[in-house]
Structure 1
Amino acid sequence: MTTLDEPVQVEEEQQPISGLALVPRGPQGQKPADYRSDQEVRWCPGCGDYIILSTVQAMLPTLGLQKENLVFVSGIGCSSRFPYYLDTYGMHSIHGRAPAIATGLAVARPDLSVWVITGDGDALSIGGNHLIHALRRNVNITVLLFNNRVYGLTKGQYSPTSNQGMVTKSSPLGAPDAPFNPVSLALGAEASFVARALDSDREGLADVLRQAAEHRGASLVEIYQNCPIFNDGAFDVLKQPGSDRHLVRLVPGSPVGLGELDDQGRHSHLVVREGGALRVVARDEADPAQVLVHDPADPDPTTAFALSRLSTQDLSHVVTGVFRAVSRPAYDDDVRRQGEDASKASPPDLEDLIFDGDVWSVPSHRGASA
């Protein structure tokens, strides 16, 4: 584990990185502590945001970027305090509108690595439209969606990811809504990079965050994050001994499985295809021809979407890792290219522009009474 004062060396062969190719490189030997601001970190004791912040601060030096070219944009919510605690540029913006502001930054400044910090309420309620269109457009931004399945900052109302029937201050008889699956939503919006991680899994979270940053295009990482005040223990089943029977950890090129490993490193249960659906079966019941081998680079999102539906709201099965990582043109690259092409063209004659297309004359009515 990297400490806050341990220098991080960046290997030369890792550069340039396609998703960060236009971002200026920083000095060697950056430390996680270099990304710690002078602001006092203030979340509730036990909040999962602390470990996410620590993991991000430890991961950023490995990207090898100039700190001045990193920007974190947040909306409104507990997670949105994040930019204060990083020694980078940042903006605490408007409720749900962080993806829109980040889009403008990405288009105007290709030399920036642009991040969005948001929560399940901020991103999926008031900010839902902004999020899905940023993903659809494939803007070169990295979205970290902290999901604690409740509104924390506004004191415990149910959110778009709360379990149906959850009793909160705004749902004393139980939440009537069917919850969103953020990974399914992102895949449905054709995001080119989609992943999920746990706040307590520092190694897995750091690996996913680095891949998301290096990806060129829209990246969304859903992070299961505990709220100790209003939804404490929501993800405890994934953090206790025996959690392997619930967790499906995606590894590219490997069979998709879960459960305890045998002495040959094989899972006790595997994910198989049955028709157009996926199902979890015991290893000795699995048809080898039907066992799913993970391929996040598959251009067809159908299998990735099916994997996202394998995750259950009651956490009996939860899929983590990178669901999808495909290459397609980034919106901001295309917008800048259009501007460059337009600037090279000869400017049209003003009179030709005025009289181009459908025009008509308005006759004079001299002498008409007012």
Structure 2
Amino acid sequence: MSTTKDKTPTALTKKDFTSDQAVRWCPGCGDYAILAQMQKVLPELGIPKENVVFVSGIGCSSRFPYYMDTYGLHTIHGRATTIASGLKVANPDLSIWVITGDGDGLSIGGNHLLHVLRRNVNLNIILFNNRIYGLTKGQYSPTSLPGHKTKSSPMGSIEQSLNPVGVAIAAHATFVARTLDRHVKHMGEILKKAAAHQGTSFVEVLQNCPIFNDGAWEPVADTKMRGDNMLGLEHGQPMVFGKTVKKGVRLNGLKPEVVELNDTVTEDQMLVHDKEDEMQSILVSRMQYPDYPIPLGVIRQVERPCYEDQLIGQVKLAQETKGKGDLKQLYHAADTWEVK
């Protein structure tokens, strides 16, 4: 909401969150769809513009703050989550969105990402995953598939790729979700759920780079193929999918398996999605195409105290029991030297 001169609240619109900067991504880039949904969703959250901050690192996705008519920080490679954490502790009233990519967030920023997730700082992390370094012109990234040929891996990558949602769940994140740039309605709903969550929300957006890795997510991006390759997750609902909803995922021992539904293999035998079950979330996060459909939706969501609330609570307790302290006294409490 915004306020007019007579203090009457006025509803915000997408235009209110759109800056006057020309958007400079390659034609066809999935980033456009993510930007459009963010600008559409924010007015619906009822958060004053002056309380919204976008923090980014380095990469194509990190131009995002320029295109949002909010406060924003375009920071350094991999450190957006660190800066955002400090900002949230300094001003807990802010709604903070960290915009990062698979290269920025999972390579040099991987260590920082792990710690903001385990601390559960109340902010939102949106990771754009196109499985490539786009800004630096097409080197393989931490999420590139083994064997992928790029300018920096001309004979094919020999590295095991990272699974972003798997990394987040391993770090004990309290909200982990996945969506798709071309599935705009779904993306909008996921962004709303992330914003409503109290704690660190982590959203992986499967995003296409038409220049350096076109078609990376075609099995779920192509509407003709999506039905048979996408598993839409709904809490409390069985894991069934397919164009005619005739496929499902059930447990075979400790391993999930894809089966065809029929008279003897029925829907009630399938796994029921439970976003609060940590062990199941690990299994779901490990499902990867082509052996499994690609899970989209909220994979994991639980409640846990937020980092900044606990930190501020400790500060208040210390002040109540020991007083507010004296900075000058602190400086002179230990040995000092005079340099002449």
TM-score (norm 2): 0.90
1:165 aligns with 2:147: yes
Offset from partner CA, 1:215-255 (integer Å, 9 cap, x none): 01011000000001100111122122132100000011111
CA distance in structure 2 between the aligned counterparts of 1:288 and 1:232, rounded to whole angstroms: 36
Match of 1:279 in 2: 257
1:336 aligns with 2:312: yes
How far did 1:27 drift?
3.8
Query: Number of residue pairs matched?
Result: 322
CA distance in structure 2 between the aligned counterparts of 1:112 and 1:242, rounded to whole angstroms: 40
1:319 to 295, 306, 310: 295
Match of 1:291 in 2: 270
Match of 1:264 in 2: none
Match of 1:362 in 2: none
1:61 to 39, 43, 55: 43
Match of 2:205 in 1: 223
CA distance in structure 2 between the aligned counterparts of 1:155 and 1:349, rounded to whole angstroms: 53
Amino acid across the alignment from 2:288: S
How far did 1:347 drift?
3.9
Offset from partner CA, 1:33-91 (integer Å, 9 cap, x none): 11000111000111000010001000001101100100110000000000000001010
Match of 1:180 in 2: 162
CA distance in structure 2 between the aligned counterparts of 1:349 and 1:334, rounded to whole angstroms: 20
| Residue identity (%) | 51
**Pairwise CA RMSD:** 2.2
CA distance in structure 1 between the aligned counterparts of 2:210 and 2:9, rounded to whole angstroms: 38
Contact 1:196 1:322 in 2 (8 A): yes
Contact 1:27 1:66 in 2 (8 A): no
How far did 1:316 drift?
5.5
CA distance in structure 2 between the aligned counterparts of 1:138 and 1:30, rounded to whole angstroms: 29
Contact 1:28 1:64 in 2 (8 A): no
Gaps of 5+ in 1: 1-7, 9-25, 262-266, 354-370
TM-score (norm 1): 0.83
Offset from partner CA, 1:8-50 (integer Å, 9 cap, x none): 9xxxxxxxxxxxxxxxxx9442111110001110001110000
How far did 1:288 drift?
5.4
SS of the aligned residue for 2:61 comes to helix
1:47 aligns with 2:29: yes
1:35 aligns with 2:17: yes
Gaps of 5+ in 2: 2-7, 331-340
Larger radius of gyration: 1
1:152 to 134, 143, 158: 134
